[in-house]
């Protein structure tokens, strides 16, 4: 289990950078830069610009999201900010406000 998990009830204020999978079930404020997949679980809050290979959002994200591969906004997910990725999916029931840039 070589991952980073920011658990429920934990708040990180500042800069998080990693080369491995990051799972956010708590709160991150600042910056989240990951060379790997990022999962924001239901109840997870990210108030930060996110950079990763892929981002899956079931929680709340406020900030711009840039992914080299894909961004998946899942049911119950909430995203306010611009999204830039090769592939973007928005599930039924997800909340999204912002621009999408998909290198057309």
Partner 1 sequence: MARTDSRIGQSTVIRGTIRGAGDIDLHGRIEGTIDVDGDVTVADSARVKAPVNGGRVVVRGAIAGNVKGKESVVLEEGARVVGDLAAPSIGIRRGGLLRGHVASGEHADRAPTSVAARATRPATTQRTAPAAAPSQKKAEPKSEAKTEAAPKLVEPTASPLTKPARTAPAPVMPALQKGAKAALKKKAR
Report the interface residues with partner 1, using CB under 8 A: 1-22, 25-27, 30, 41
3-class DSSP state for residue 74? coil
Length of the chain: 104
Nearest-approach distance from CB 69 to partner 1, in angstroms = 19
In the complex with partner 1, the residue whose CB is nearer, 19 or 101, is 19
Q: Which is nearer to partner 1, 43 or 98 (CB)?
A: 43
Nearest approach, Cβ of 102 to partner 1 (angstroms)? 29
Alpha helices in 25-98 (DSSP H): none
CA distances from residue 32 to 1, 15, 49, 90, 91 in whole angstroms, order as listed: 20, 6, 6, 21, 23
User: Between residues 45 and 67, which has the closer beta carbon with respect to partner 1?
Assistant: 45
Least CB distance to partner 1 at residue 32 (A): 10
Q: Please, are residues 63 and 46 in contact by the beta-carbon 8 Å criterion?
A: yes
Q: How far is the CB of 86 from partner 1 (least distance, A)?
A: 24
């Amino acid at each position: 289990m070589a991952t980073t998990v920011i658990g429920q009830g934990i708040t990180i204020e500042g800069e998080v950078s990693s080369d491995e999978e990051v799972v956010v079930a708590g709160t991150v404020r600042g910056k989240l830069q990951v060379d790997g997949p990022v999962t924001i679980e239901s109840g997870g809050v990210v108030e930060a610009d996110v950079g990763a290979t892929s981002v899956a959002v079931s929680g709340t994200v406020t900030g711009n999201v840039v992914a080299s591969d894909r961004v998946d906004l899942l049911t119950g997910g909430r995203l306010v900010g611009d999204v830039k990725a090769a592939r973007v999916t928005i599930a039924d029931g997800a909340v999204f406000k912002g621009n999408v840039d998909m290198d057309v």
